[in-house]
Structure 1
Amino acid sequence: MTDLVAAFPMYNRPELRVAFDMLWEGTRNNLRAAGVQDVPDCLTVVEEGLLTFWQRPDLLLSQTCGFPYRHFLKDSVALVGTPDFGLEGCPPGYYRSALVVRRDDPRETLAEFQGATLAVNDLHSQSGYAAPLVAIEQAGLRMGAIRMSGAHVASARMVAVGDADIAGLDAVSWRHMLRLDAWTCGLRVIDWTPPTPGLPYITAFAPLAVTITACLAEALRTLPPTLRDDLTMKGLVAVDRRDYLIVADPEAPEKALFRT
């Protein structure tokens, strides 16, 4: 049998690659010590697109987002655990979106962004798509346009250079940007969305989920402190499957949120 596959695609910026590789090395060694067979030596390079990758029957371990989990993955994967980043204003294992605008934008509240251009990283993103659109909907607003960016950093860049007025950024991604991207000094948070469950680790092998959880948690606990600080992960928590499934979705943009 060939090796199974594993990937840590979320938050895995180049500056954090060493920390993620070391986290996998520890998890891999722990899994092998626990008797799990066909554990890959290295993290897999995802070439087929994340949604396809997460649905592979040989998926040993990866991390997804709440939106694809509840819409596409809930019946084909098991939850392994959710990282706790110790985010202000969030329960353990939860996160929220920073609604970010240019620092020199004179508007002070979300309600003033009627007709604005919204940058969205991906239509399957909880923090970059679903959460900000629900907030916009609840504020009674219509956006003037939506611009796809492909990544949270790219969404922030669009706002910074004036190609968009506002973007919803994952609070963990925003934390990393503030530390690693000097140009974010030209941005500010105008509001935050309500907390929702964070990005869960998943596996296609439900009988192994408890073992994988223990092996991943121990690898994180024994990660060198400097690397653990780079990831800003405090540990793993168990978030109930139902808590992911009850998160609200926005109405279809063409029906409610964007001017035609």
Structure 2
Amino acid sequence: MIASLPMYLRPANRAAHHALWHGIRDGLRARDLPAPDDLDEDIDHEASWAHPDLVLGQICNLPYRALFRDRVTPIAAMDYALPGCAAGYYNAVFIVHRDSAISDRIQLRGRRMAANALLSQSGYGAAQQWAADQGRRFAAPLVTGSHAASIKAVATGAADFATIDAQTWWMARQDDPLTGQVKVIGTTPASPCMTLITRKGQDPAPYLAAITAAVGSLPETHRQMLGLRGIIPLSPAAYDLPLPPEPEAVLA
């Protein structure tokens, strides 16, 4: 059995992540649910979502609705109280080079985007949703592999812009000097935040109770480090969002 919470794990907040998991673990065991001693930090996140013995995972809403909706049990969305977002929702910030003449999202038509992954809502899907709503298209994306690499691509001129998960952006501004080389020019539409899941066929109620209690009992230093305010169960309809187009369909 495995548990993995990889999306916002960084060296600076590792202790807080593990404290959160230990609280969840103890709460699950108190409810007669099996739970591993520690988080698995080595498993690939997509492999964790598909693992037959998944106890707890953390999934972006795009791969959830594109590939995993019928393969896992959703528990609740994480809530970081992000500006402009309802509880349990998040968005992404549009960034361009700090010296760029671009000052508005409308000016991004035909520009090259740095995307951390094509199955990332914050790094690809939300921007494509915004562009479709505006009747606009971007150039083919540069796939970077991570939000940090996307920030670097914009800072160094390898791409014209990127959209960075707002919670990741909050963390990056604390320890990534390259954030000083870029500027924010807007935000994407909001959508369900990182969603906690377990394997298919489970009753989500005891998981929700254990996680809620663990978040509530976190020491304030860990709570501040993670920025986590709570978890919010969302209706299935909250995930009824259109899938982004394939890259070859978004050429300007």
TM-score (norm 1): 0.92
Alignment partner, residue 44 of structure 1? 40
1:7 pairs with 2:4 = yes
Shift of 1:112: 1.8
**Which string of whole-angstrom CA distances, capped at 9 and with x for unpartnered residues, describes residues 146-189 of structure 1?**
21111111111111111111001111111111222233122111
Distance 1:182 1:251 in 2: 33
Query: What runs of 5+ residues in structure 1 fail to find an aligned partner?
Result: none
Shift of 1:205: 5.0
User: Contact (CA 8 Å) 1:102, 1:188: kept in 2 or not?
Assistant: yes
Shift of 1:144: 3.2
User: Contact (CA 8 Å) 1:94, 1:195: kept in 2 or not?
Assistant: yes
1:27 pairs with 2:24 = yes
Distance 1:236 1:144 in 2: 36
Query: What runs of 5+ residues in structure 2 fail to find an aligned partner?
Result: none
Aligned pairs for 1:1-260 within 5 A: 4-37=1-34, 39-47=35-43, 49-244=44-239, 246-255=240-249, 257-259=250-252
**Count of residues in correspondence between the two structures:** 252
The residue type equivalent to 1:43 in the other structure is L
User: Contact (CA 8 Å) 1:60, 1:205: kept in 2 or not?
Assistant: no
Distance 1:203 1:250 in 2: 25
Which shows bigger deviation, 145-154 or 64-73? 145-154
The residue type equivalent to 2:185 in the other structure is I
Distance 2:200 2:26 in 1: 18
Shift of 1:114: 2.9
Distance 1:97 1:167 in 2: 9
User: Contact (CA 8 Å) 1:79, 1:241: kept in 2 or not?
Assistant: no
Shift of 1:102: 1.2
The residue type equivalent to 1:254 in the other structure is E
CA RMSD across the alignment: 1.5
SS in 2 for 1:119: strand
Change (3 A) 1:116 1:223: same
Distance 1:145 1:53 in 2: 29
**Which string of whole-angstrom CA distances, capped at 9 and with x for unpartnered residues, describes residues 32-60 of structure 1?**
122223x211111343x322320111001
The residue type equivalent to 1:90 in the other structure is C
SS in 2 for 1:142: coil
SS in 1 for 2:74: strand
Distance 2:131 2:202 in 1: 41
The residue type equivalent to 1:83 in the other structure is M
